[in-house]
Structure 1
Amino acid sequence: MTLRLIAVHAHPDDESSKGAATYAHYLEQGVEVLIVSCTGGERGDVLNELVARDPRSRRDLAGVRRAEMERAQEIIGFEHTWLGYEDSGLPEAGDPLPENCFAKVPTEISAEVLVGIVRDFQPHVMITYNEQGGYPHPDHIRCHEISKIAWDLSGDAESFPEAGEPWTIKKMYYEEIFNSERVNAVYNWLEANDPESELLPQFTELRDWMSKRGYSGTAKVDVSRFFEKRDEALRAHASQVAPDSNFFFWPNDLQRQAWPFEDYRLAASRVMTSEFETDLFQGIEENA
């Protein structure tokens, strides 16, 4: 049986900052991996000064981000599709959302598109964002909402009958990669093994901030062999990632020593599995 994984993300670059090492890990094992980008990232800020100097980034940011996505896809090797909606941006509190953006499209309309993708690809595992969207961006929240509908209804023949033959996903996970246990583990490793490290003060501050978020992961997947490939894919999204981005201030060798995992929370399952997992496909082949 060929195993398949679908990951639903809000914008291009989210797939590289939130799970790229996991996708590389499973691709090496022969799993088919499909990334869905709900929007084109048209309203994102350009965070890299070198890219901002390029007139194309002001004239055609959507085209820039599509090219970046193609490069990240080449690096990791996953399949990719666009859901086809416009980035909602991140308006100031009280400001309206732009017309026709992803977060303003009726949920059932964009959910039907995702259900069609699910029924065509036939994934066993879905990865998406938690109820808060991972963070409260309107596109991330809507991404969660339509993913939950696809989980609930893609296997129901009476729902969205025009979207293809029913397919039932076996397990759904929320990504929990940036979490308090990871930060604590890195801090504790530095304190025990390199107390003079210039990184320690930064992790002290980060640990205090992350302690308020807690930890809800149930699956730790060891993907340490793919950290460099993950970083290469993330750097491919150059408009969103400056060379000195905080994404890269954790040395990979340090991460391998202290926390070689990417973390997920099992949100729902239709197969028997254990409370804590090291494999997102645990229980699927046994229950096939």
Structure 2
Amino acid sequence: MCVHAHPDDESSKGAATMARYSREGIEVLVVTCTGGERGDVLNPKMDRPEVQADLPRIRNEEMARAREILGVEQHWLGFVDSGLPDGWLPGSDIPLPEDAFYLVPTEKAAAPLVEIMRSYRPHVVTTYDEEGGYPHPDHVKCHEVSIEAFGAAGDPDRYPDRGEAWQPLKLYYGHSFGKARIEAMHYALLEAGLESPYGAWLDGDWARDKSERVTTRVECAEYFPVRDAALKAHATQVDPEGFWFAVPGEIQQRAWPTEDYELVDSHVPSTLPEDDLFAGLR
């Protein structure tokens, strides 16, 4: 089970891992917390008034195409996108819409996720770290409800009206954009005589880099084309000629052939480092 904030997050974070496991015969479920209703149209070719006016329906259809490409099941949690006001950070006094997912009390927001965990019975759950991967209110809330649900799903005294207790066995945070990975991509591009889009990134502030927290690297380079096709299915969110696709696929596969995770809770013994989210469960 991979818990994400918006449609398109599943295709930009851990998608090749999901595609690999799906094709190995493992059942994979994406849980999408919100409908992405307040997202912007980020692809200039799709930035038209009629698209913005019909964005919830369009993003639903994009998600349907992406999950078919990835070979996964998907469930909407049903909450409303919080949006991302300029300057918002956790704890700030910048207001969010009254119906924002971020403002839903954590126990109320986690209840449907507990129910899905108990009915789907995943062995492994992936989600975002305590900062949401990046400070978007829905990503932060996604982390909070995932932690609450993982801890509660196996306890019959919590959420007793949400089905028979089931304890998922391993919980991971995804870490997609650590400094080591960006450096590897950057220098691989330069060695190939190509321009790198990562120079400005490497000159930035990496004080919050979490590369050292990675415990698990899943080999999935073979499935990068599947990941890219799923991401392109979110046509309102991704420009197929833009930043996400600036690095040729073969360079990505050679420079950094894994997707990376942090094991944060486990109910089974597993020796670190790992190369498989199911280490200790096979």
The change in CA–CA distance for 1:242 and 1:105 in structure 2 (over 3 A counts) is same
Task: Give the TM-score normalised by structure 2.
Answer: 0.94
Q: Which residue of 2 aligns with 1:3?
A: none
Aligned-pair CA distance for 1:182: 0.8
The change in CA–CA distance for 1:17 and 1:272 in structure 2 (over 3 A counts) is same
Aligned with residue 8 of structure 1, among 3, 12, 17 = 3
**How many angstroms apart in 1 are the aligned matches of 2:184 and 2:153?**
39
Amino acid at match of 1:72: A
Aligned-pair CA distance for 1:53: 2.1
Secondary structure of 1:100's aligned partner: coil
**How many angstroms apart in 2 are the aligned matches of 1:213 and 1:106?**
28
Aligned residues: 275
Q: Which runs of 5+ in 2 are unaligned?
A: 88-92
Give CA deviations for 1:118-153 in whole Å, capped at 9, x if unaligned.
Answer: 000000000000000001111100100010011111
Q: Which residue of 2 aligns with 1:271?
A: 268
Aligned with residue 54 of structure 2, among 42, 49, 60 = 60
Aligned-pair CA distance for 1:177: 1.3
Q: Which residue of 1 aligns with 2:153?
A: 154
The change in CA–CA distance for 1:73 and 1:210 in structure 2 (over 3 A counts) is farther
Give CA deviations for 1:159-212 in whole Å, capped at 9, x if unaligned.
Answer: 000100000011000000111111122234345x43x3222xx33332233643
Secondary structure of 1:254's aligned partner: helix
Q: Which residue of 1 aligns with 2:32?
A: 37
**How many angstroms apart in 2 are the aligned matches of 1:239 and 1:197?**
28
Q: Which residue of 2 aligns with 1:259?
A: 256
Q: Which residue of 1 aligns with 2:79?
A: 85
Secondary structure of 1:275's aligned partner: coil
Aligned-pair CA distance for 1:259: 0.6
**Which one is further off, 150-159 or 95-104?**
95-104
Q: Which residue of 2 aligns with 1:120?
A: 119
Task: Give the TM-score normalised by structure 1.
Answer: 0.92
Contact 2:173 2:261 in 1 (8 A): yes
Give me the identity figure in percent.
48
Aligned-pair CA distance for 1:54: 5.8
**How many angstroms apart in 1 are the aligned matches of 2:242 and 2:278?**
32
Aligned-pair CA distance for 1:101: 1.6
Aligned-pair CA distance for 1:11: 0.2
Aligned with residue 202 of structure 2, among 202, 207, 214 = 207
The reply to whether residue 236 of structure 1 matches residue 230 of structure 2 is no
Q: Report the RMSD for the aligned CA atoms in angstroms.
A: 1.4
**How many angstroms apart in 1 are the aligned matches of 2:188 and 2:79?**
43
The change in CA–CA distance for 1:154 and 1:95 in structure 2 (over 3 A counts) is same
Secondary structure of 1:32's aligned partner: coil
Q: Which runs of 5+ in 1 are unaligned?
A: 1-5
Query: 1:128-143 to 2 correspondence within 5 Å?
Result: 128-143=127-142
Amino acid at match of 1:40: G
Contact 1:118 1:167 in 2 (8 A): yes
Aligned-pair CA distance for 1:67: 0.5
**How many angstroms apart in 2 are the aligned matches of 1:95 and 1:190?**
40
**How many angstroms apart in 1 are the aligned matches of 2:96 and 2:21?**
37
Q: Which residue of 2 aligns with 1:21?
A: 16
**Which one is further off, 142-151 or 94-103?**
94-103
